[in-house]
Homo-oligomer: A and B are copies of this chain.
C-alpha cells in the first residue's frame, strides 16, 4: 500500500523535537519514502489521508512489558506487594498453559494500539506465542528472555530464542535478558554474560525495583544489585535495567560508565508502593531513560500517556521543583529514546527510509484546545482518546476507534474471559 498523509502538523523527532507545518508524508510499503514540503508525485497512492490539522508523530515505544499478564488485570488490586505476588500472581501464573498466551497477548496488543504504542519489549512465558500474535496482527515486538533459577540449559534455550527470533520476521526482534539477580544463581548470570559476550550484545533485566530487593542483595553479596551484576560481567556490552527505583551513587557511576539504560515504570512502582525512581537525577547524570508500562497486573493499564504524565509530575513533586523533568524530554523518552533502548533505530523517527511506525493525534478534542503548546500538552493533557490512527510497518491497524487486525476484539475478549475462568477455577 502507498499512503499519503497530508494537511497535518508533523513532529518528525528526527532532529529537534518540534512541530512542522505545511509538509506531507508518503508511506510506500512498510517504509516512509518522503517527509517534506508538498510536491507532485508520480506514485499512485492507494489512499490519501487528509489529517485535517491533526498531529502526526512516531509511535510510542513501550520499553518494558509482560503483555501476557492481561488475565491478571484487576484480579488482585490493593494488596501488599508480597501477598500479591505469593498468594495471587505466582499461583495463577503456575496454571498458565502455552495455548492461553496467544489470546492474552492479543488483548495487550489491542490496548497498545489504542494508546498509540507501536512496539513493546516483552518479557514473559512462552515468548513464541507473543511472536505468533504479533505477526498475525501486524504488531512490532521485541522479545527479551526472562529466565530464572540455576538451570544452565535455560541459557542455551535463551540463546536459541535470541537467534531464532531475530531471523524470524521483519516485525520481530530479540534481546538477551533474564528476570533479575534475586531469582538467578551466580552461575546462571555468568553463563548469560558469556552468551552476551559471544554476540557482543547488551543484557536486559529487572534491577533495584524495591528497597527490600536491594537490602537483601547487600546482605547476601555485600554489593548492591547493580554492583553485583557488574561484578559478574553482565554489563560488558551495555545493558538495560527495568525499574531502578533505588540506586546508590556508585550505581549511578556504573550506569554511566557501562552505558546502561534505565526503563522507568512509574505507574507500576506507585501502585505496588515500590517507590519513585530518581529519573530527573538519572537524566542530569547522563543516563538514558526510556518508559515502560510494566504488566497489566500491576498498572493496570497499558497506556503510554499515563506513563508520560507520571514521569514528569512525579519528578516535579519529589524534587519540589515545578520545572523538573521537561515534558518535551519525556516525549523523546517515550518514542525515540525508547526505540534506541529497544534496538529499534529503524523506526524511531519520521524520515525517509525509516519503517512506517507512526500515530495521528486528534487535536480536535477539548483536552488539546486551545493550541498553545501542543507537544507539552500532549504529555500534560494527552489521552489515548486522542489516538486517531496507529500505523505499524506501513499498515493502519487502528483508526477512529476501529481495529483492522484480522480478528474481532469481541472474539479476543471472549477467549480471554474463558482463559480467566480456567485459570481461576
Q: Give min CB distance, A151 to chain B, whole Å.
A: 31
A383 touches B383 (CB 8 A): yes
Q: Are B413 and A377 in contact (CB under 8 A)?
A: no
A381 in contact with B301 given A273-B320, A317-B275, A417-B371 (CB within 8 Å): yes
List of B residues within 8 angstroms of A385 by Cβ? 114, 383-385
> Taking the nearest CB of chain B, how far is it from the CB of A87, in angstroms?
13
A309 CB to nearest chain B CB (Å): 7
Contact B300 A380 (CB under 8 A): yes
Instruction: Tell me if A49 counts as interface (CB < 8 A to partner B).
Output: no
**A329 vs chain B, min Cβ distance (A):** 10
Q: B residues within 8 A CB of A416? A: 369-370
Which residue of chain B is the closest to A328 with respect to CB atoms?
A: B78
| A377 contact set on B, CB distance < 8 A | 73-74, 77, 300
A218 to chain B minimum Cβ distance, whole angstroms, is: 19
Residue A285 interfacial (CB < 8 Å)? no
Query: Is A300 within 8 A of B381, CB to CB?
Result: yes
Task: Kindly identify which residue among B269, B319, B384, B417 contacts A370, using a CB–CB cutoff of 8 Å.
Answer: B417
Chain B residues, Cβ within 8 Å of A270: 313-314, 316-317
Q: Is A302 an interface residue (CB 8 A)?
A: yes
8 closest Cβ pairs, A-B complex: A74-B377, A270-B313, A111-B366, A110-B366, A300-B380, A300-B381, A273-B322, A301-B381
* Chain B proximity mask over A361-393: 1 for CB below 8 Å, otherwise 0: 000111101111110110011011100000000
Q: With A and B bound together, what is the CA distance between A303 and B306 in angstroms?
A: 12
20 new A-B contacts, CB < 8 A, other than A79-B323, A270-B313, A270-B317, are A73-B377, A74-B373, A75-B373, A77-B327, A78-B312, A78-B323, A110-B366, A111-B366, A114-B366, A270-B314, A272-B316, A272-B322, A273-B317, A273-B321, A275-B317, A299-B380, A300-B380, A301-B380, A370-B416, A383-B385
Cβ of A410 within 8 Å of any chain B Cβ, yes or no, is yes
Assess whether A271 is interfacial by the CB under 8 Å rule.
Answer: yes
Q: Which residue of B lies closest to A417 (CB)?
A: B370
* Contacting residue for A326 out of B78, B301, B303, CB 8 A: B78
Chain B residues, Cβ within 8 Å of A172: none
Q: Is residue A324 contacting chain B, with contact meaning CB distance below 8 A?
A: yes
Query: How far, in whole Å, are A287 and B302 apart by their CA atoms in the complex?
Result: 33
Is A80 an interface residue when CB atoms closer than 8 A count as contact? yes
Interface positions, chain A 268-325, Cβ under 8 Å from B, are: 269-276, 296, 299-303, 306, 309, 312-314, 316-317, 319-324
Query: Nearest-CB distance from A139 to chain B (Å)?
Result: 13
Quote the shortest CB–CB distance from A135 to chain B (angstroms): 19
Chain B residues with Cβ below 8 Å from A303 are 367, 381, 383
Return chain B residues, CB-CB under 8 Å to A77.
327, 373, 376-377, 380
Q: Which residue of B lies closest to A419 (CB)?
A: B370
Cβ contact within 8 Å between A74 and B372: yes
| Distance between Cα atoms of A401 and B384 in the complex (Å) | 13
- Closest B residue to A271 by beta carbon equals B313
Task: Provide the residues of chain B in CB contact with A81, threshold 8 Å.
Answer: 322
Provide the A134-149 mask, 1 if CB < 8 A to any CB of B, else 0: 0000000000000000
A75 cross-chain contacts in B, Cβ below 8 A: 372-373
Contacts of A380 in B (CB 8 A): 74, 77, 271, 299-301
Counting chain B CB atoms within 10 Å of each CB, which of A75, A80, A270, A275 scores highest?
A270
Identity of the chain B residue whose Cβ is nearest the Cβ of A270 in the assembled complex: B313
